[in-house]
Amino acid sequence: MASLGLFSGTKCVNVRFRLPYYTQWGQSLVVCGSEPVLGAWNVKKGLLLSPVHEGDELLWCGTIAIPKDFESEYNYYVVDDNRNVLRSEMGKKRKLLLPEGIQDGILVELHDLWLIGADALSFTSAFKDVIFRTRSILKVERHLGLIKNRLDNEDSVIVHFKICCPNIEQDTSIYVIGSSFKLGQWKIDSGLKLSYSGQSIWHVDCFLFVFLNNYSTYKYCKYRDAGNFSLETGATRDLSLESSNAKLRYVVRSDGMMRETPWRGAGVAIPMFSIRSETDLGVGEFLDLKLLVDWAVESGFHLIQLLPINDTSVHGMWWDSYPYSSLSVCALHPLYLRVHALSENIPQDIKVEIEKAKEQLDGKVVDYEATMATKLAIAKKVFAQEKELILNSSSFQEFLSENEDWLKPYAAFCFLRDFFETSDHSQWGRFSYFSKEKLEKLVSKDSLHYDVISFHYYIQYHLHLQLSEAADYAREQGVILKGDLPIGVDRNSVDTWVYPDLFRMNTSTGAPPDYFDKNGQNWGFPTYNWEEMSKDNYAWWRARLTQMAKYFTAYRIDHILGFFRIWELPEHAVTGLVGKFRPSIPLSQEELEREGVWDFDRLSKPYIQQQFLQDKFGVSWPVIASTFMNEYQKNQYEFKDDSNTEKKIASKLRSLSDKSLLENENKTRIDLFDLLRNVVLIRDPEDPGKFYPRFNLEDTSSFQDLDEHSKNVLKKLYYDYYFHRQENLWRQNALKTLPALLNSSDMLACGEDLGLIPSCVHPVMQELGLIGLRIQRMPNEPDLEFGIPSQYDYMTVCAPSCHDCSTMRAWWEEDEERRRRYFKTVVSSDMLPPDRCVPEIAHFIIKQHVDAPSMWAIFPLQDLLALKEKYTTRPAAEETINDPTNPKHYWRFRVHVTLESLIKDDELITTIKDLVRGSGRSYPGGHTEIQAKQELSFSSTQKQPVANEKEKISVISQGTPQKDLLAVR
């Protein structure tokens, strides 16, 4: 029991914490709270609980003495023997309040359940403010002050039942019923009706006589005025009271979430730039989202998912079309501005200019440079006309005041970028290094260039107004806007200029070889200095999320693996193959020497034999060798200093291309890169005594030429490094960084967890309540070629494709043998599949996903358009958004049909809505018979039942009708 010295001279009440939780060896539980007796949020000073076995359950218990007017917040933590936090509860902090009029010496027992991340999802803005928005009109019947009743009978105990139920219709009540007489003996009309206390919490007091009823079982249920009721799912809840404890007078049962059939919804995904409307100017615009919301509502979708919408204007050319290379993590992209909405008083000549530009820019794909130039030119003309009016308005002044921390540096950066004609701030002379003093001079109203500075304010202000208008409209219609949080920022960005200490500027971010690219990916972003970021509790990340939450109610964490570990490459790398994980535990020189490995130069420098040169370059090998290499031993070569990195090789090749020394520059570059990467170990540039095994080292000729002992040792160390050695480190890293993001906003968070997945990732995501991603063609299971949607976990988003791969149609049509395997494995047919993804095939694949147990089924708009032959005339390959193998891919896809025409297509809308409704998923404004039985239970791990009956899909092959085929859903 905690020391009573804290409350010397006061009359105390005993509070006993009681939590069922199974721990591993060396783990304990601590309760820590806001008051000193509970550690004042210092877990090392919190109350250490003791384990007690009660039947098959392991309970953790502890008691403190507190004064009768005591109030505190608290939570539970799993700690090791040194009280280091291994795991903490998610969601809102608990509150400890004592019953009114409680007597001295009385025991209050708190029966709690561990709160997992999934329990908190109902309190995210996606559900609280959008999906369940109409539920918020419930009136508070009784505030949550725990127990209001007083006990007069020494043989009785008050049990305070408390349950969370966020999704409840009007004219519906919640009851607790159970086996005891007091709980109605399982009869609803004799059970206890709960009162609403706000924030989705319902509660009721029950007087029980200990000596008569020590044990009972119970459940919660919903009861509608019409007489319909639904009992919560799962096993009954148990209530056991200790009759031997005479001082036990109050029991608080915090029963977590009401257990019900999980809520499920559907959505559409489309990049902002890909939207086409009759109003836009060559590219999708924020105000187009209102039309997209209308279409989504009609089609049964509760969610619209976008790619990043931040400004990417780094190079001033089409390279800036890459939406994941942010110039600023807070500024919105001017590309999405609707210029004719800037003012109600646009002069006629500018209106004519807009109409002419609209016609010129209405192309098949986005012309990034022309569209940006046109919009900015028009916006400058409107700005010149109304700048005094806008800049002096109270609305603008409020916007500037609320956003000046990022807006002023952004405007100053844009001015300096254009003045010096480069975003590389290292080329800006005395402005290369940011300071607040320099900033204030740059943005001063007295400066000669203030019009330029204020123009950038003006653009961001109107982008904010237009996106806010669309976001508010989406909320009102019950549609979630889901944003995208890029893993990186451009190395020449506002953020690297203002916060250089937060980035490792001599490195580059990417991904190891995976489904997308056998050579890995190099995104070019500097990696993060997590140690520096942690010093202010990740304030930079928290600011990003706070800004996003102004517009979005859900977001996708791009490459969530980067919060566990990032694939770090040297800044001079071009490809993504020769990297290492950060953080990770390297192989030390001493460790390698103990294993009998000692020739470190041989293992870590490119291994180039004359035979390799002859095999790759044929008769041209002497020219290649003399140009790029030195022969340091007979028949053994090394790269010259001007050619010893991928960037140096690429640069040298470009300089030689006019001298006709090369027959094929691209092939020569690839072959030289292969030789440069022909290493077994990568030496740490910051610590020469540490090494990292090269990814897929067994594929190198350097490895193949080693003796058997060295091969065996290095293979063992390789698999340990990539699959075992780092797991605990990466887990701890994610549990430090991810909660800072999740706690900085109330948006619903989803994580893009594709690629090489460490085993620690999914348990951590489950613990934090993060929703994962499942793409059928990229299954997590190593023994499957195609994922099985009916077996997906509830805490997932499922989709047939995503922006980083080909569309459903293109994927179907690009590989005949794979198409046959899919037809045999998934459709259960040995017949010849059609060579085109006809609407029947699209319907089958989409139905698989919409029927899946996943919380969300989100479909790229291109995949949905494949449901109708009319929209499949465009070559499928043209609908691909990104090619991950090409670092200079032009992101310019535009949908070939306007939103206005899609809204009028009742046939397509009906087809989609029937799929959503038939799956039992929720849809805006709807309440199907299946859906009426589906209330939210995020903590449930129960999977949705999938129908076993077979449906017929008619397919066409080579233009010739075939027999109907049976396909299992």
Domains and CATH numbers, the chain: 12-115 (2.60.40.10), 156-257 (2.60.40.10), 265-504 (3.20.20.80)
Do 271 and 368 meet the contact criterion of CB atoms below 8 Å apart?
no
Question: How far, in Å, CA of 551 to CA of 796, rounded?
Answer: 23
- pLDDT over 50 (residue 453): yes
- pLDDT over 80 (residue 929): no
Do 953 and 843 meet the contact criterion of CB atoms below 8 Å apart?
yes
Q: Tell me how many degrees the CA angle 687-691-697 measures, rounded to the nearest 5.
A: 155
- Cβ burial of 405 (10 Å; 0-12, 13-18, 19+) is exposed
Q: What is the pLDDT of residue 146?
A: 58
Nearest to 239 by CA among 225, 227, 253, 223: 253
Do 485 and 557 meet the contact criterion of CB atoms below 8 Å apart?
yes
Q: How confident is the model at residue 814 (pLDDT cuts 50, 70, 90)?
A: very high
**Residue type, position 183, single letter:** L
Do 528 and 504 meet the contact criterion of CB atoms below 8 Å apart?
yes
Q: What is the pLDDT of residue 657?
A: 63
Q: What is the pLDDT of residue 120?
A: 86
Q: What is the 3-state secondary structure (H, E, C) of 523-558?
A: CCCCEECHHHHHHHCCHHHHHHHHHHCCCCCEEEEC
Do 192 and 183 meet the contact criterion of CB atoms below 8 Å apart?
yes
Q: How confident is the model at residue 125 (pLDDT cuts 50, 70, 90)?
A: very high
Residue tagged 């005094």 (tokens):
388
- pLDDT over 80 (residue 954): no
- pLDDT over 70 (residue 887): yes
Query: Could you give the percent of the chain with pLDDT greater than 90?
Result: 76
Do 480 and 130 meet the contact criterion of CB atoms below 8 Å apart?
yes
Give the tens place of pLDDT for each residue, 685-710.
999 999 999 999 999 999 999 999 99
- pLDDT over 80 (residue 391): yes
Q: What is the pLDDT of residue 149?
A: 60
Q: What is the pLDDT of residue 956?
A: 35
Question: How far, in Å, CA of 758 to CA of 98, rounded?
Answer: 45
What φ, ψ does residue 479 adopt, rounded to 5°? -115, 130
- Report long-range pairs for 397-402 (Cβ below 8 Å, ≥24 apart): 399/461, 399/464, 400/457, 400/461
Do 110 and 253 meet the contact criterion of CB atoms below 8 Å apart?
no
Cross-strand partners of 953: 965
Q: How confident is the model at residue 961 (pLDDT cuts 50, 70, 90)?
A: very low
Q: What is the pLDDT of residue 932?
A: 40
Q: Tell me how many degrees the CA angle 144-148-154 measures, rounded to the nearest 5.
A: 140
Q: How far apart are the first and last CA of the chain?
A: 58
Q: What is the pLDDT of residue 546?
A: 96
Which DSSP letter does residue 873 get? -
Give the tens place of pLDDT for each residue, 560-583.
999 999 999 999 999 999 999 999
454's tokens:
């204020």
- pLDDT over 70 (residue 958): no
Cross-strand partners of 952: 966
Q: What is the pLDDT of residue 930?
A: 40
Residue tagged 């990732």 (tokens):
761
Cross-strand partners of 12: 67
Question: How far, in Å, CA of 731 to CA of 854, rounded?
Answer: 25
- Cβ burial of 539 (10 Å; 0-12, 13-18, 19+) is middle
Q: What is the pLDDT of residue 147?
A: 58
Which three-class secondary structure state does DSSP give residue 895? coil
- pLDDT over 70 (residue 83): yes
**Residue type, position 555, single letter:** Y
Average pLDDT of 28-45? Answer: 96
Q: What is the pLDDT of residue 212?
A: 53
Residue tagged 């060798």 (tokens):
625
Peptide bond into 834 cis (omega under 30): no
Q: How confident is the model at residue 966 (pLDDT cuts 50, 70, 90)?
A: very low
Do 216 and 209 meet the contact criterion of CB atoms below 8 Å apart?
no
Nearest to 399 by CA among 417, 381, 411: 411
Question: How far, in Å, CA of 694 to CA of 864, rounded?
Answer: 41
Torsion sign over Cα 302, 306, 311, 316: negative
Do 415 and 444 meet the contact criterion of CB atoms below 8 Å apart?
no
The more confidently predicted of residues 631 and 212 is 631
Query: Could you give the percent of the chain with pLDDT greater than 70?
Result: 91
- pLDDT over 80 (residue 920): yes
- pLDDT over 60 (residue 928): no
Give the tens place of pLDDT for each residue, 744-765.
999 999 999 988 889 999 999 9
- CA distances (Å), 67 to each of 6, 72, 101, 431, 447, in order? 10, 12, 12, 60, 62
Q: Which of 25-29, 384-388, 931-935 has the lowest mean pLDDT?
A: 931-935
Q: What is the pLDDT of residue 199?
A: 83
- pLDDT over 70 (residue 937): no
- CA distances (Å), 308 to each of 50, 272, 335, in order? 48, 8, 12
Nearest to 199 by CA among 144, 131, 263: 144
Q: Tell me how many degrees the CA angle 395-396-401 measures, rounded to the nearest 5.
A: 100
Average pLDDT across the chain, whole number: 89
Q: What is the pLDDT of residue 226?
A: 63
Do 110 and 252 meet the contact criterion of CB atoms below 8 Å apart?
yes
From the CA atom positions of the chain, what is the Rg in Å? 31
Q: What is the pLDDT of residue 963?
A: 29
Q: How confident is the model at residue 931 (pLDDT cuts 50, 70, 90)?
A: very low
